[in-house]
Structure formats: structure tokens, C-alpha cells
Structure 1
Amino acid sequence: MTASTASKKSRPKPQPNQALLAKIFHWVNIIALLLMITSGLQIYNANPVFGGRGGWQFPSLFLLGGWLAGGRHWHFAAMWLFALNLLWYGLYIFITQRWKRRFVGVNDLKALQTSQNPKRRIYVWHRLAYTVIIPILLLAILSGIGMYKPAQFHWIVGILGSWQALRVVHFLTIPIVVIFVIFHSWLGLKAGGYRLIKSMFW
């Protein structure tokens, strides 16, 4: 083994470093999502989407708000936090042109079929996940607005066909977002290990 080879092996790998705005975005998202999910389950328990008032309810351990009105107050406050966080981050990646590396393109779809590079495939799956989650988040916000102000936004209820359909759609966006978070984190671990995940928050 040459001295240069030994030097390269002993040299520590560079630590991943994320922009401060990206770290703030991730922290605010985690907090807002936890508040929305727990307060949303409190609202759900008042009149379960599946099974009516006699339907299955979530344990109080996973609820926030104490009662229906309290759950609604927390839910709408967290919704504004979540929506505004998405808005400013969307403007940030647009202005910095980071969107060019965030969303899936034609070459990415070809790479999934032909590329033998594991890292390349991981990045493609990441961009695919980013692309798919955008309409899901918009649907969650739109259906939530329709439930919050059904008289003013009756056209949202009309698009989905009925009030019950609106509630079902809004509720089903929750597990989809949770699955995205898990998949997103798993891809991050595959791409850069724990150091990459840590760099997103610290």
C-alpha cells in the first residue's frame, strides 16, 4: 500500500451540510405535521369518517385539543403554519432554481429502467417522491379548506361529489403523507446514511 493510498483511506469523509433554510423548513414541517395529525384525530373522534358516530375512535394518547373545538383551533393554526412553510420554501427553490433537481424528468424515468448505478436510482426515486407528494399536499389543503368553509367554497365539495367524499379524501391524505415521510427518510439513509439525515436538522 502506498503512502498516498493510506492517506486517502484515513482521510475522513466530508460531512453533509444543508442550507439553514432547508433545516428550518424540515423542523417546521415536522412540528406542523405532528400538530395537524394529532388535532385532526381529535376532530375525527367527534364524528368518525368511517362508521359514523359509532365508528372506531383513536385513543386519547394520540389526540390534541381535548374536545372538538379545541382540536379545530389547533388544526387550523397548524394548517396555516404548514401551508405558509410550503409556500415560502416553494418560492425559495424556485428563485434558487433548485426545482430543476427536485422533480422527476424524462431522463429519470429512463434511468429507473436502465441505470445500474444504485445512487442514481436512489436520486430518481427521491425526485419521483417529491413530484408525487405535491398534488397530494395540494389536495389535503384544498379538501381541508372545503371542510372549513363549505358555504364559501361549495365548489370544492361539488368537485368531489359529496361532503362524505370530501371527508374521506381529506382523511386519506394523512397516511399518504406519513408514508412519504418514511420513504423520504429511508431514501436519505440509503443515499448518505445517518449523517445525511442529521444534517437536515442540525
Structure 2
Amino acid sequence: MASTVSSKTRKLPTQAIGAKIFHSCNVISLFLMLTSGLQIYNANPVFGGRAGLHIPPIFTLGGWLAGGRHWHFAAMWLFSLNLLWYGIYILITRRWRHRFVGANDMKALQKSQNSQRLIYAWHRIVYTAIIPILLLALLTGIGMYKPAQFPWVVDMFGSWQALRVVHFATVPMVIVFVVIHSTLGRQAGGDKLIESMFW
């Protein structure tokens, strides 16, 4: 007689439609901002002046400086509005209580031996840490987009070049966040959890 399965079938993870839309829009807008941003970068490299490191065209979007700017700012609006409505969404639904780091997470890192609990704690820490980085990217981006309307943003960073360097520095931080975020998600729920974030 075949052995019976004693454990229950694991329920597939599900996500609210709002979370699916948020993650999908983020992936699209971040890809467009990254590739178009590299096109803008090539027009005047942040490091090394005009003779500095150039990105191969295959990794850029826009074809030239103006094209890159158009794509970049269009994607910036998509990303910003998506971030704004999701912030309102998690406030209304009170999902923020489960998304951001709290005192219990810090205690778990010090005392808990439960690997799953530690994963959730680290996930919330990373999720919280990305907020000031995203706000910094948006602030510096606005300062570069409309310096005449927002001269105080440029003054805050001392110079136009310093503003560009800070804005550029937020890019690898966001990429690192995406890698850690997806890795922790996979550890918490496997590929099914990652898939559930989009469809």
C-alpha cells in the first residue's frame, strides 16, 4: 500500500491586486529610468567629465540626450505617482503595520533562533531603509529636472555636480535593494511568493 501524505498541501501565497500593480509598475518604471538615465549619463559622464566612462548603446534608451530625458522624466512620473498611491493604499488598508520595521524586529535579531522570523525582520528593515533612498533619488531628480523652479534643492547639495553625483549614487542602492528584497522574498516563500507579487 502506497504511503499516505501526512502533511497538508501548502497553500500558494496570494497578494492583493494593489501590491501586484505596484510591483509591476515599479519594475517597468525602474527599467525605463535606469536605461534612459544611462543615456543621459553618456552626454556628460558624472565621473571623468566628457571623456569619462561611457555606457554601450545597447544598455541605454532614448538614442540621444533629449530622447533619454523624455523617457527618464516620463518614467519618473510613473514611478512617483505609483509610489504616492501605494503609500496612500497601505495607510488606508493599514498594511504599513506589517511592512515596516518595529521594535519587535530588532528584538528578534538579537534573540530569535527562528530562521523564518529573522527573514521577516530583515525584510522589514530593508523595506524601511529604501524609503529615504527613494525620497533622496526623487528630490535630487527634481532638482536636476527643474533647477530654476527648485534652486534650493541645488543649494542644499552645494553644487550642480554634487547633486548629480548623489542622484547617480542612489542607483546602485536601489539595485542592491531589489536584489536583497527578492532574495529575502524567495527565502520566505520560494518562487511562488515572487510570482504572486506580479500575477
- Report the residue type matching 2:130 in the other structure: I
Q: Which runs of 5+ in 1 are unaligned?
A: none
If the length of structure 1 is used for normalisation, what is the TM-score? 0.95
| Superposed CA offset, 1:104-139 (max 9, x none) | 111211111111011111001110011100000000
Provide the C-alpha distance between the structure 1 equivalents of 2:5 and 2:50, rounded to a whole number of angstroms: 68
Q: 1:158 — aligned with what?
A: 155
Q: 2:196 — aligned with what?
A: 199
Q: 2:6 — aligned with what?
A: 8
Provide the C-alpha distance between the structure 2 equivalents of 1:8 and 1:16, rounded to a whole number of angstroms: 21
Report 1:123-162 matches (<5 A). 123-162=120-159
- Report the residue type matching 2:12 in the other structure: Q
Question: What is the CA RMSD across the aligned residues, in angstroms?
Answer: 1.0
Is the aligned partner of 1:181 residue 2:181?
no
- Report the residue type matching 1:189 in the other structure: R
Report 1:165-176 matches (<5 A). 165-176=162-173
Provide the C-alpha distance between the structure 1 equivalents of 2:11 and 2:100, rounded to a whole number of angstroms: 26
Classify the secondary structure of the residue corresponding to 1:8: coil
Report 1:9-28 matches (<5 A). 9=7, 11-28=8-25
| Superposed CA offset, 1:146-202 (max 9, x none) | 001111111111111111110000001111001000000000110001111111111
Q: Which runs of 5+ in 2 are unaligned?
A: none
If the length of structure 2 is used for normalisation, what is the TM-score? 0.97
Q: 2:83 — aligned with what?
A: 86
Q: 1:38 — aligned with what?
A: 35
Q: Give the length in aligned residue pairs.
A: 197
Q: After the TM superposition, which segments of 4 or more aligned residues of structure 1 sit over 6 Å from their partners?
A: none
Structure 1 residue 30: deviation in Å? 0.2
- Report the residue type matching 1:190 in the other structure: Q
- Identity over aligned residues, as a percent? 69
- Report the residue type matching 1:18 in the other structure: Q
Provide the C-alpha distance between the structure 1 equivalents of 2:75 and 2:135, rounded to a whole number of angstroms: 15
Provide the C-alpha distance between the structure 2 equivalents of 1:114 and 1:165, rounded to a whole number of angstroms: 42
Of 13-22 and 79-88, more deviation after overlay is shown by 13-22
Classify the secondary structure of the residue corresponding to 1:48: coil
- Report the residue type matching 1:163 in the other structure: W
Provide the C-alpha distance between the structure 2 equivalents of 1:122 and 1:196, rounded to a whole number of angstroms: 14
Structure 1 residue 8: deviation in Å? 3.1
Provide the C-alpha distance between the structure 2 equivalents of 1:60 and 1:160, rounded to a whole number of angstroms: 30
